[in-house]
Structure 1
């Protein structure tokens, strides 16, 4: 999932159209299959956007578009999710949705790899933290990873090696 979705806001594409284009493996002119209509409805409900299915993507707020991207990542049920700052454009309600989904994914055994610069969120939500700055500097639990010394090394211009 990208940080933000860039597209022509004048494009007359509804949330349903967008979800179908991303999830369905048949030509758009054939319409939405019953299977995908149900799956899209469930995914949008999980992110709190079930009432926005017929709205144009261009009319949604940035946070709502991020939630559509989260919903798109639920179809089909993933084994691995790669997310680039998924909370960056979310409002408070969207952050709560993301945190709930993250807990659901954890319980389901789904691996989530996400890039995040909000260290409070990392400390609160992550099981493991890997610090990267030109190379892997550390890989540890949030408590062990988010120490002043490790953060200084992580965000410095010339990172030094850290013992695990």
Structure 2
């Protein structure tokens, strides 16, 4: 058995011991108000700290920006932030990324969408509890949760279809 297999089995046992009450489960987790986000957060979720929640939701917001740019015909690959191209973001870089994403969303009038406004409110709620200096994620964790959020954008904030086909 490989090291990864042993680690997986160890995690399964730890989770089992937590479920049956032998080990105390983590009680702290972020509880979002937005219904679309609730299934991604919980005691069993890996998003168990405010920094991870902030990063995940910022990833969803960044994914929405990419959706909007793609719908407008903007060359997304050429326009993507260079940090994300190289995956060198750290927790301390997230406030600047947040500012850049919000700036672009304002320029595209995307914040008129009620769901986007709800997500921005959720991010703000977590951001107020954190502090710019308190986001203590390394580059792997930061990019993981950011890309995880980006990959879930279509489920959380689906794009509006302009051309709906009617069946005859």
Provide TM-score, normalisation by structure 2.
0.26
User: Looking at both structures, which has the greater relative contact order when contacts are Cα pairs under 8 Å and sequence separation is at least 6?
Assistant: 2
Structure having the larger proportion of residues in strand: 1
* Structure with the higher fraction of residues in helix conformation: 2
> What TM-score results when the alignment is normalised by the length of structure 1?
0.26
